[in-house]
Amino acid sequence: MSKKDNGGLTVIFAYLNEKNRPYSAQDVFNNLQKQHGLGKTAQFAEVSEADLKAIDSRISDLSTQVQAISQGCRQLDAELKELNSSLTTEEMMSEIQELKAECSGYRERLEKIKSATNHVTPEQKEMVYKERHLYVKEWKKRKRLASDMMGSILEGYPKTKKQFLEEVGVETDEDCKVTMPST
């Protein structure tokens, strides 16, 4: 059927009345296309080339406007996110005051350290490190000796090591939550 013929509408109504059941547009199209050559576009009126060009021009103009507006929206969204993530003037002033107070505290502490007369000399520092090393070495030596003695006693002892330590009243480094420093 041609696009000029409005008989397609009457054919569709007659078909639906004849079958007397609901059909989707696709079912009507499939069933009537074979018999009548009727397509989905058979209901539309004929449009001139000038009208089509005018419609295409209007679509192009509107698409350009949509793109421009979308770009503007994206820019505004980005600006809004940036502004929401930045501090307000009041928050900024509060932050500045906090930082100034912190800086003045550090300056006072630095001045106290600089003005102190009891600085440790490098020789005193070295002597303290040597003594610490000596005491840690002695601590390890005594701990090893005590452990060896307990091991010898526990060979013939009928109870567990924990029970032995409780009976004798020995507190280990682990009981006191003390860890041996590295040398």
Q: What integer pLDDT is reported at residue 28 of this predicted model?
A: 82
pLDDT tens, position by position, 65-118: 999 999 999 999 999 999 888 888 899 999 999 999 999 999 999 988 888 777
* For residue 5, pLDDT beyond 70: no
158 pLDDT above the threshold of 70: yes
Neighbours of 42 (CB within 10 A): 21
**Mean pLDDT estimate for the chain:** 87
Q: Return the pLDDT at 1.
A: 45
Between CA 101 and CA 107 the distance in angstroms is 10
Residue 2 is predicted with a pLDDT of: 46
At 39, is the pLDDT very low, low, confident or very high (cuts 50, 70, 90)? low
> What tens digit of pLDDT does each residue of 40-59 get?
555 667 778 998 999 999 99
Q: How far apart are CA 34 and CA 42, in angstroms?
A: 14
Which residue has 């005193």 as its token pair?
A: 124
Tokens matching residue 8:
């397609």
Please give the average per-residue pLDDT across 149-166, as a whole number.
91
- Helix intervals (H) in the chain: 7-19, 25-36, 49-85, 89-115, 122-155, 161-168
Please give the Cα distance from 172 to 170 (Å, whole number). Answer: 6
Distance CA 122, CA 119 (A): 10
Q: What is the pLDDT of residue 74?
A: 96
Q: Which residues contact 174 (CB under 8 A, 6 or more apart)?
A: none
Mean of the pLDDT values across residues 5-34? 82
Please identify which residue in the block is written with the tokens 């103009």: 61
Tokens representing 167?
């009976």
